[in-house]
Amino acid sequence: MSQLTVAEELFLWDNGVKLRHSGLAVDIPRRQVFGFISHAHADHIARHELALCTPATAALYRLRLGNRSVVQVPFGQPVDLEGSRLQLFPAGHCLGSAMLWVEAEGQSLLYTGDFRLGESATAEPAQVPQAHVLIMESTYGLPRYRMPPREEVVDKLRRRVLWACENDLLPVIVAYSLGKAQEVTALLKPLGLPLFVHKSVYAIHQIYEQHGVDLWPYHLVDDNVRSPAVVIAPPGSRFTLRHPQLWKIAVTGWAIDPATPYRLGVHEAIPLTDHADFDGLVSLVEMVAPRRVYCLHGPETFVDHLRSRGWDARPLGRPTQYRLF
């Protein structure tokens, strides 16, 4: 009889998560023989020999890295793989983002990837299955990252855009090209203002529309844009705007930190996020009801918080982490 724990029978840590039965690498951003991609943000993808992901993520992955070999798995469709069964559930982070649920030998594991439990204008609503073992991202794992109600955030974004236009300023919304830019476009459409997007955003908008997300009308930005209008561009993007006065608004959960506008070089920041906030992270653990929790990409104090609430929680990927063999 194996002396390994439940968690160690299902996965191992090799500078990234790998499933023990199949060897499937999970969100490892370096080339793998066979890799699961939870979503197409740059820090979750690589030029794998073969990738497994949802159809929407496959389209975005190929847009970013070329015509890669992909096994496309729709949400809810079981896949048998090397003595285990896999299933993908919506993560609510961006279009096509998926949680990976694994079952083998009567035990189950859920890997969340980046996720959001709350409402989204452009991503599939999250669905959270129960599992014996949970591997979760914990980006906003500090209590201060409790986001305001979404309706207040959306209202503030719209009001600040209208204020800028009324004062002959050209509002430039600084948003990641995948996920956040599409969310902002959908949220600002009701204002009836012309929407102009950076070329990297434009290509992703088109894929979203091909997968049933209505973002039209929008236009490719050029240097002749004039207020009243809105420009949406990713951080660090380069393009020319001749409008004499710009008003830059970053949309990010890090807006909770007062220094964020200075750090990002914008006039203001609004806490519109596509990640679960602190309370959302705790809620996910309660929904999954696991025997053990492993936390990635967040403060180790979140692990302490979960342990104080009675969960068997541990950090994953820290220098002190033992390889799970």
pLDDT for the residue numbered 242: 83
pLDDT for the residue numbered 239: 75
Confidence at 243, pLDDT banded by 50, 70, 90: confident
Residues present in the chain in total? 325
Q: Which residues contact 69 (CB under 8 A, 6 or more apart)?
A: 48, 49, 50, 51
With 60 as the cut, is the pLDDT of residue 173 above it?
yes
Share of the chain above pLDDT 70, in %: 95
pLDDT for the residue numbered 5: 54
The alpha-carbon radius of gyration of the chain (Å, integer) is 21
* Average model confidence (pLDDT) across the chain: 93
- Burial (CB < 10 A; 0-12, 13-18, 19+), residue 322, is exposed
Higher local confidence (pLDDT), 102 or 238: 102
With 90 as the cut, is the pLDDT of residue 9 above it?
no
> Residues 74, 80, 85, CA angle at the centre, nearest 5°?
85
Confidence at 238, pLDDT banded by 50, 70, 90: confident
CA-wise closest residue to 139 among 107, 112, 176: 112
Measured between alpha carbons, how far is 210 from 114 in angstroms, rounded to an integer? 23
Q: What average pLDDT score do residues 86-94 get?
A: 98
Name which of 6-10, 44-48, 202-206 the model is least confident about.
6-10
Q: In the chain, which residue ranges form alpha helices assigned H by DSSP?
A: 6-10, 55-65, 150-166, 180-188, 199-210, 260-264, 278-288, 300-308
Q: What average pLDDT score do residues 81-100 get?
A: 96
Q: What average pLDDT score do residues 68-93 get?
A: 96
Confidence at 8, pLDDT banded by 50, 70, 90: low
Confidence at 138, pLDDT banded by 50, 70, 90: very high
With 50 as the cut, is the pLDDT of residue 180 above it?
yes
pTM for the model stands at 0.93
The pLDDT tens digits for 247-297 are: 999 999 999 999 999 999 999 999 999 999 999 999 999 999 999 999 998
pLDDT for the residue numbered 4: 41
Confidence at 2, pLDDT banded by 50, 70, 90: very low
With 90 as the cut, is the pLDDT of residue 218 above it?
yes
Q: What average pLDDT score do residues 42-62 get?
A: 97
